[in-house]
Amino acid sequence: MKFGFDIDDTLINLRGYAFSIYNKKLNQKNALDVFEELKTVEIHHPFGLSDQEGKEMWNSSLEEIYFTSCPPYPKAVETLQELHQQGHEIYYITARPGEHGERTMEWMIQQGFPVEEDKFFCGMKDHEKVKIIEELGLDYYFDDKPSVLETLSSDTLKVFVRDQSYNRHYKAERLTDWGELKGILMEKNSR
Ligand SMILES: [Mg+2]
């Protein structure tokens, strides 16, 4: 089987990590429950930043957000390693800007994710992911953004939304814990 994964906020807790960086940089103490209730993908509102300031904050912090110690979600690495060892193909499809592609791939390898260079795709816009996902003929695809998942309709592709506070309205198969995937797949295959 071919499994495709978005990276940020699907496999790794990027926004949560950025939230802690903003607290530190802006000398604020916004609590985790504030983060967990955010209804937007953007995280700057609790810090009192305008959209423009938020954008600037994100861009000026990008190096630290992307390439230091953002934690993968629990069991994400182990689950993907297990799929890989079972002979499944693991694809990554990220909308991170193309210039960060190479380093992002290296960073993912350092975190322990199973990465093959020809199965790593970077730099497309969210709405362009559909093209590569179709071309690859994936069986499964996981993403946190409804705007991406909405573009994917196919009889053969099964999509999952990685649960986040800003996507709870979206109706799709929902994954809240990577440790649950194995059981879900076993159940699907036994039907
Ligand atoms: Mg994402």
Summarize pLDDT for 44-67 with one digit per residue, the tens.
999 999 999 999 999 999 999 999
Tell me the two tokens of residue 91: 């694809």
- pLDDT, tens digit, for every residue of 2-22? 999 999 999 999 999 999 999
How far, in Å, CA of 108 to CA of 15, rounded?
A: 16
**DSSP conformation class of 163:** P
Tell me the two tokens of residue 116: 């093959």
Amino acid 140: pLDDT: 96
Write out the catalytic residue numbers: 6, 8
Amino acid 95: pLDDT: 95
Amino acid 49: pLDDT: 97
CA of 187 to the centre of ligand 1 (A): 26
Amino acid 155: pLDDT: 76
Amino acid 154: pLDDT: 78
How far, in Å, CA of 74 to CA of 67, rounded?
A: 19
Which amino acid, one-letter code, is at 93? I
Q: What is the mean pLDDT of the chain?
A: 95
For the chain, the structural domain boundaries read 2-12+71-190, 14-67
Low-confidence ranges of the chain (pLDDT < 70): none
Contact by Cβ (8 Å): 97, 123: yes
Beta-ladder partners of 139? none
What is the three-class DSSP state of 44?
A: coil
CATH 3.40.50.1000 fits 2-12+71-190, yes or no: yes
Q: At a CB cut-off of 8 Å and minimum separation 6, what does 33 contact?
A: none
Amino acid 13: pLDDT: 98
Identify the CA nearest to 134 among candidates 122, 151, 120: 151
How far, in Å, CA of 13 to CA of 70, rounded?
A: 7
CA of 138 to the centre of ligand 1 (A): 17
Amino acid 189: pLDDT: 78
CA of 112 to the centre of ligand 1 (A): 19
| Element at 93 (helix H, strand E) | strand 89-94
Q: Which residues surround ligand 1, an ion (CB under 5 A)?
A: 6, 8-10, 144
